[in-house]
A and B are shown apart, each in its own frame.
Chain A
Amino acid sequence: MERLCFSFARTMPLAYISHLDMMRLFLRALRRSNLPLAYSQGYNPHPRLTLALPLPVGVTASEELGEIFFAEAVSPEDFISILGSQLPASLELTGAGRLSPESTSLAARVCAALYRVFVSDEPDRGTQYLLLRGALDKLMSREEILMERKSKKKKITFINVRPYILKAEIIYKEGRPLELSLLLKAGSSGGVSPFFIIEQLKMEAGSGLMDASSWHVHREKLYTGQNGSLQPLPERM
C-alpha cells in the first residue's frame, strides 16, 4: 500500500466547477492514467482519494491538497508526470510526497486557509479603498459576528464567527490591484467562508456602496496546527 499526498493549483476557467466535479475529474484522470488505484473495502468499492477542504465554485487556488492510496508503489515523481499528463491545463500538480499509511490524514488536520480577495477598482481605487477600510475596521471591532447555521434537523442556530477571522489586511500599493487578505479558520472544527465575510463587509459599508459581484477570490494556502502556531502545508513536499 502506497499513500501519497499532493498539491495542485487551479486556475480559470476550471474554477467554475464544484467540489464533486473536481473529485470526478481527478478520478477519471486517475483511471485514464492507469496508476494502480487502491479501492476501499465493502459492497461498493471506490478509489481512496481525498481532497482537503472543498474549494467553493468560482475560487482559484495556488496550493490545494489531496491524498491518495495506491495498491502498489508509485513514486511521487511518476505520480506527477503520469497523472499530470491526464489533467486539463487549468489544473496543475505542484508537488507530491509520501505519507506513512498510519499518519493522520492531512485533510483532517487542515485548520486554516489564506485567501486573497481581489477587489474591483470601480468607480476608482481611492474610493474603493476607503469604503473597504471603513467596513473592515467596523467589522473587526465587533465582538460578535453571527452566522446562521442549519442543523441536520433543520434547526437554526447562530455561531459567532468573529474568532474565526485570524487576520484581515488590506493591501493598497501602487502598481498592484487592491487586495483584501484574509486568514480564516477552516476545517472540521469550525470555519467561515470568505464569501460570508465579503457579505458582512458589504453590509458594514452600507448596501449599494460596494459592488462585490466582480471581486475575485483566490485561495493561497492551507495550514495545519493549533491556534497561534499555524504550519503551512504541505509540510514534506
Chain B
Amino acid sequence: MSVDLMKLKEILAMVQKPARYLGNEWNACLKDHREAGMRMVFAFPDLYEVGMSNQGLKILYESVNSRPGMLMERVFAPAADMEDLMREKGLPLFALESREPLSRFDVIGFSLQYELSYTNVLNMLDLAGIPLYHHKRSETDPLIIGGGPCSFNPEPLAPFFDLFVIGESEEFLPVLLDTMTELRMENPGKKELLARLSGLDGVYVPSLYEPVYDQGLLAGMEKLDPRAPGTIRKHYVSDLDCAPYPTAPVVPYIQTVHDRAVVELFRGCGRGCRFCQAGYIFRPVRRRSSENIVSTARELIAGTGYDEISLSSLSSTDYPGLDALICELDNSLSDGRVKCSLPSLRLDSYSVSLADRVHRGRRSSLTFAPEAATERLRKVIKKNISEKDIFTAVADAVEAGWQGFKFYFMVGLPTETVEDVEAIVSLCRRLRQHFKQQAGRALKISVSVSTFVPKAHTPFQWEPQLPLAEVIERQQLLRRGFGKIAGFDFSWHEAGASLLEAVFARGDRTLAPLLERAWQLGCRFDGWSEHFSFDLWQKAFRELEIEPGRYAYRRFNYDDYLPWDHLDCGVDKELLIREHREALAR
C-alpha cells in the first residue's frame, strides 16, 4: 500500500516547492516490486535540490536499476514545512518512485557526504517509523546501510547502522544486493546475515566490533565474530571506462544546485593537498579515456536534453589533453549549442585560458581557491602555487575580460599565525590595486573563508582544530580588515558549525547519544546557516556531559589508536606521517 495520493495532495498544496516530493521526473525508474528480490531506497539526508545534484546518487541509481532482480528508489530529507505536515497528518516518509513507505523496503542506503547532515539521517529514520538504534530494530525492519566519504569515519553513526560500504560502490553494490538475496533464501536471521556479509571486501558491520577504551580514550576495536576482518579494505573501481555510468540520469523538474549533465574526467587527485580528504580517499588517480568521455557526453545530452555539460573531477585542468578534448566536445555536441563548464580551476595561466574557451559569453566570475595567503602556509598544506602564479592567473583572466573573482581561503590551518590571517586581507587588497588600471575599474572580489576541519585519512588527521574562541578572533580580524576597504564581499563560515564538523569527523561511538539528543532537541539541516542552532547543540553537550574539545581539539599521537584505524583507505599510515612531518617542518 503506497501513500494515499489524496492525503499527499492536500499536504502538497501547503508546502514550498511541492515538486521536491513528486518523483515522476524524466528518466525516473519505477520497477515492479514483485519482480525485485532486493528493493533499496537511496536516502539522501538533505533537500531534493542538493541530493539531486549528487553524482553518486545518479551513478548508483544506474548501477542497481540496470540489473534484473533489484531496484533502487530515492528519498530526500523533507524540508521543515513538509516534516511538520507529515507528522501532523501521520504520513510516513515514502520513496519518490512508488510512494511506498520506507519501512516496506529491504534496504535503506544513506549517502553520507557531510557530518552536518547526521541529524537529518536520524530524522528520516524517525519519519519512516524505523527505530534509530540497530539493536532495537526487528527482523522485518529494513537493513540500514551507509556509504560515501563520511563512511571513512562512521563511528559516531555506528550504533544506528547495520552496515557500511567503504569506498566506491558502483560495482560492488549490485554484488552486495545479490549476495543478500541469495543468503536470505536460507533465512539466516539478520545477525547471521550481517556476520556472513562482513566477509565481503569493503563491508563494515559495526555491531561485530566492540571499542576498547583505556582511561576513557579509545584503545582499539575488539572483534566479536571471527568472520569479521581486522581491517576493512575500501572498494575502488579499477577502470572508469568499464564501470557503470548513467547516460540517462533523472532530469529534475525544479532547479537543483548543479542543474546540468556531468561527465567525470577522472577520479582521485594527484596533487596531495594535505587538508583534502577527497584527495586521499579517492586514490589512485583513474582517468576516463577521451573517447569514452566524448561518447558519454553525447549520450548524456541525447538522454537528458541538458544544454550544459560539466567536466568534473577534483582538479579538471589536470586531465592530460584537456584542450583537445574540449575542441572535440565543441564539435560533436549539437552544433555548439551545448556549453561545457569546468569546476575546480587551478590558479595558473593554462586553467584561465581553458576557462576563457569554455565560458564564451558567460563571463560572470572566476573562482579560485588559494586556501592560504602566504607562501609558507601554502607549502604547509601542499597547495603549491606561488604569489606570482596568482598574479599571473588573475592578469590573464582580467585580460580575457573577467571582472569578478571569488577566492576561497581557510583559517585555523596547522602552524597558522595571525600574520598568515592578516595576509589574506593584504593579498586581496594588492590584487585589487594591481589590476585596477588593467581592468579599467576596480575588480569585484568576493572572499569566502572557511574554518579548517582535520579529517580522517589525511596527513592532518592528528592535528587539533583551532579552538572556537580563536577562530572567532581570526574571523573578526578579517572582518575588520575587509571592512576598511570598500568593494569587498566577505563571507565566513559559522565557527560553531565547523567545531561540530570536527567533533564528528574525528569522533567515536560515544557521540551517538549526543547526536540523538541534539535531534530530539530539534536540530536539523545543521549545514544550513539559517537552520543551524549552536545553542541547541551546546545544550545537548551539557546534558550528556560531553566536552566537544575532547574530540575537536585533541592532538593525536602517531601511536594513538584512531577511531578509523580499522578502515583501510589504501594509503599507508607511514606516508601520512611523512607528509605530516614534512608539513610541520615548513
Contact = CB atoms under 8 A, between A and B. Distances in A.
**A, B assembled together:** yes
Nearest to B305: A28
Nearest to A45: B337
Contact of A43 (B18, B25, B307, B361): B361
B22 A13 contact: yes
Contacts of B18: 16, 57-58
B301 A16 contact: no
A28 B254 contact: no
B19 A28 contact: no
A231 interface: no
Interface residues of B, number: 26
Interface in A2-60: 12-14, 16-18, 20-21, 24-25, 27-32, 34, 39, 43-45, 57-58
Interface range on chain A: under 10, 10 to 19, 20 to 34, or 35 or more? 20 to 34
A68 B306 CA distance: 18
B302 A21 contact: no
A88 B26 contact: yes
A32 B362 contact: no
A32 B302 contact: yes
A214 B10 contact: yes
A16 B305 CA distance: 21
B140 interface: no
A21 B254 contact: yes
B10 A16 contact: no
A213 interface: yes
B19 A31 contact: no
Contact of A12 (B9, B304, B362): B9
B334 A31 contact: yes
Contact of A28 (B22, B255, B306): B306
Contacts of A30: 305
A31 B303 CA distance: 9
B253 interface: yes
B24 interface: yes
B332 to A, nearest CB: 14
B26 A28 contact: yes
Contacts of A24: 253, 255
Candidate in B251, B302, B334, B362 with the most chain A CB atoms within 10 angstroms: B251
Interface of B: 9-10, 12-14, 18-19, 22, 24-26, 251, 253-255, 301-307, 334, 337, 361-362
13 contacts: A14-B253, A16-B19, A17-B254, A24-B253, A28-B251, A28-B305, A28-B306, A30-B305, A44-B361, A88-B25, A88-B26, A213-B10, A213-B14
Given A32-B302, A86-B305, A89-B24, 11 more contacts: A14-B24, A21-B255, A28-B251, A28-B304, A28-B305, A32-B303, A32-B304, A43-B361, A44-B361, A88-B26, A213-B14
6 nearest A-B residue pairs (beta carbon): A28-B305, A31-B305, A32-B305, A16-B18, A13-B22, A17-B253
